[in-house]
Chain A
Amino acid sequence: MNHSRLSLLLALVALTGAAQAADSVPLQIELPKPLFAGTPRPISLPNLEKPRTGKRPDLMVPAGTVNLSKGKTVTSSDSLPVIGELTFINDGDKSGTDGTYVELGPTPQWIQIDLGAPAKVAAVAIWHFHSQARVYHDVVVQVSNDATFKTGVTTIFNNDDDDSSKLGKGKDQAYIENYEGKLLDGKGATGRYVRLSSNGNTSDELNHYCEVEVHGSLVK
């Protein structure tokens, strides 16, 4: 008897479940439409990220590491920068005020620093235009002994997640520019040339550099 009741109960549960499954439909959720708004207000403050509380975590580098890039020859995919000169990139001025940054044209552009001799790169510090909250797209940093970057290329940073700049898909995170610059671990990559690429930014299609520092030591 109990066995029969249990069977009946199970059958009823199964039937109920089957009935519910037969009645199930995709959940339709109505999404709200956009609300019309007036002319956006201009942002009067630079909207910079809050300064980090405390010091930026130290990047440990081998003793004897020096700034190898200061005053070295800089070339670019854009031979006629829109504003500024390529020498601004390694002149030591990171302020980002007018007259301290170089502006390269739209679409992917690169700058390349010739260290003069092969070096072990411990760190690369980059300051794009940082007087406003913006993110530079497809930032790729590479090291090579080949000036044309066709062979022997080591990529130390790549946040081009869709390979739109055709330098390979990167997994590094995009970041908001600020006065501290972006400090990258060179991981001892070896090469004479350091190339930095970008593909516009969240404010316009142009590419900017205030300063680039390549820290390391020459290969003996």
Chain B
Amino acid sequence: MFAPALRRWIPLVLLVALALGLRTYELDRRPLHADEANQAIKTGELLEHGRYAFDPRDHHGPTLYYAALPLAWLRGETTLATLSATTVRLVPALAGTCGVLLLFFLARPLGFGPAFLAAALLAVAPASVYYSRYFIQETLLVSFTLAAALAAQRWWQNARPAWALAAGAALGLMQATKASAPVFVLCALAAALLVARCRPATTHLGRDLTLILGTALGVAALFYSSFGTHAAGLRDAVATYTFTSARATGDSGHEKPWWYYAALFGWEKNGGLVFQQLAFSALALTGALLAFVTRQKFLRVAAVYTLLVFFTLSFPPYKTPWHTVHLVPGLAVLAAGTLALIRWRTLAVVATTSLIFLQLTQTHLGAFLRAADARNPYAYVHSSPDVLKIRTLANAALAARPGGAIRIISEEYWPIPWYLRTLPAGSVGYWATPPADCDGALILASTAQASAVRERLHGDYRETFLGLRPGFLCVVFTPAPPAP
């Protein structure tokens, strides 16, 4: 009925559609994490005022913000107030979907079937789906890494300068996304050199390497300088390593044991919820062992790369769960390699279907059902659904007292600025400690500040609670209505 070529590619199209669907379904449902809100506000400022300056201290690279602009324009959003959570989260969603396709083409040396399997496993992986719905740089970095690897692979094989240019551009985008990019480049280079042990096809190695490096530096410089409008960004792109290394080795509050990332691919029961990827991990581990038994070079490169990345991420005490996405493509390739070696077709089909099903149930639990639940290992220091109420409370307060002030008095208050971005300019203020004047149309104070705020209020206020995130409560003060 369908031409053989179509029969071959239709499953890939359907797979990409599945990946896209998982990454874009109800993107605005989960409240924004503090980090997402931070970056969404910066994106809004770029969108509305055309201003962006790289902050080397607390923010990562600029690609995330600039990537959101065309999506916002297409969706008719031109200001911070109109910018939506769906728009900003479409950036990692689309990047993650592209990553699935890139992995397929990268893994082609294994054969169509294993490459498709590897892409399918990436498409449904819980961590990959979860952080493809998360407005942070990690998924972009993974996809740019895959793009760089694919372009470098093609250049190595056929020596075309266009592939060298593409590899350089992808490397530049990696660097412009996060300062940790060189880690993944070095791991990939080490894996390729340790395993490949063959020369590239090019006869102009010096020229091509210069092209790659020059393009990479040019692309990175373009972004860090805010497209030529902020030269200091180039200096800050280097200065950021001072802060990055301090964070990685210092007391950041995000210190975890060395086995943290391994545990995320294991089994965990927390408060009655089970998060596990035992089957996937077992197959990937088997694939890593088989990689050195078989003659499959690509499998060996994937094994060495994944191992190097694992050790590099596990060594520093600073760990956050979104780094796991860097391990998933390699593990997916290794697991696919194991499945591809099963000679008995029925068993292979059953094993593959079961694995995909298991991963999908975990993805459903982690990315959709309990996406903001504190028991979800991916929902790290995540905002509570309570924060979704703050906008309604603020609008009601201003309707009751037009011209009144909304005061946010808390040592931590993100993502609240995102949810109050639509309020009239100048109506909301943020303080880390109580100011002399605490009165207003609505005051939200952390429980640590609430007593001091209460002493500075004049008149009667009603009090209730709102959760910023699990364990962090805020007291909401609203002026009591006058007695009838």
Contacts and interface: CB of A to CB of B under 8 A. Distances in A.
Chain A complexes with chain B: yes
A161 B426 contact: no
A132 B373 CA distance: 13
A205 interface: yes
B111 to A, nearest CB: 41
Given A35-B430, A42-B254, A203-B384, A135 B465 contact: yes
Given A46-B471, A134-B473, A135-B473, A36 B55 contact: yes
A134 B473 CA distance: 7
A158 to B, nearest CB: 13
Contact of A132 (B380, B462, B464, B470): B470
B403 interface: yes
B271 interface: yes
Interface in A1-50: 26, 28-43, 46-47
A201 interface: yes
Q: Which residue, A29, A98, A134, has most C-beta atoms of chain B within 10 A?
A: A134
A201 B386 CA distance: 8
Contacts of B426: 28, 30-31
Interface string A95-136: 000110001000000000000000000000000000011110
Using C-beta atoms within 8 Å of the partner chain, give the interface range for chain B: 35 or more
B372 interface: yes
B428 A31 contact: yes
B384 A202 contact: yes
B458 interface: no
Nearest to B42: A36
Interface in B49-95: 55, 58-59
A174 B450 CA distance: 15
B58 A47 contact: no
A163 B48 CA distance: 39
A98 B471 contact: no
A204 B408 CA distance: 21
B272 interface: yes
A176 interface: yes
B386 A202 contact: yes
Nearest to A200: B385
Interface stretch (B172-180, B201-209, B217-225, B409-417): B409-417
A202 B466 contact: yes
Contacts of B416: 34
Q: Which secondary structure dominates where chain A touches chain B?
A: loop
A161 B462 contact: yes
A82 B470 CA distance: 19
Contacts of B252: 41
B430 A33 contact: yes
B113 interface: no
Contacts of A201: 467
Contact of B414 (A37, A133, A200, A202): A37
B414 A40 contact: yes
B429 A31 contact: yes
A203 B58 contact: no
A173 B463 contact: yes
Contacts of A47: 471-472
Q: Which residue, B253, B413, B466, has most C-beta atoms of chain A within 10 A?
A: B253
B413 to A, nearest CB: 7
Contact of A37 (B34, B429, B437): B34
Contacts of A26: 403
A167 interface: no
Contact of B273 (A31, A46, A83, A203): A83
Given A34-B413, A43-B471, A174-B465, 20 more contacts: A31-B426, A31-B428, A32-B430, A34-B41, A34-B430, A36-B41, A40-B414, A47-B472, A83-B271, A99-B272, A132-B470, A134-B471, A134-B473, A176-B465, A202-B466, A202-B473, A203-B374, A203-B386, A203-B471, A204-B374
Interface of B: 34-35, 38, 41-42, 55, 58-59, 252-254, 269, 271-273, 320, 372-374, 380-381, 384-386, 403, 405, 407-408, 412-414, 416-417, 426-432, 437, 447, 462-467, 469-473
Which 6 A-B residue pairs are closest in the complex by CB-CB distance? A202-B467, A31-B429, A41-B253, A83-B272, A203-B470, A135-B465
Interface of A: 26, 28-43, 46-47, 82-84, 98-99, 103, 132-135, 161, 173-174, 176, 200-205
19 contacts: A30-B426, A31-B429, A34-B41, A37-B58, A39-B320, A40-B381, A40-B469, A41-B254, A47-B471, A98-B271, A132-B470, A161-B464, A176-B473, A202-B384, A202-B470, A202-B473, A203-B469, A204-B385, A205-B385
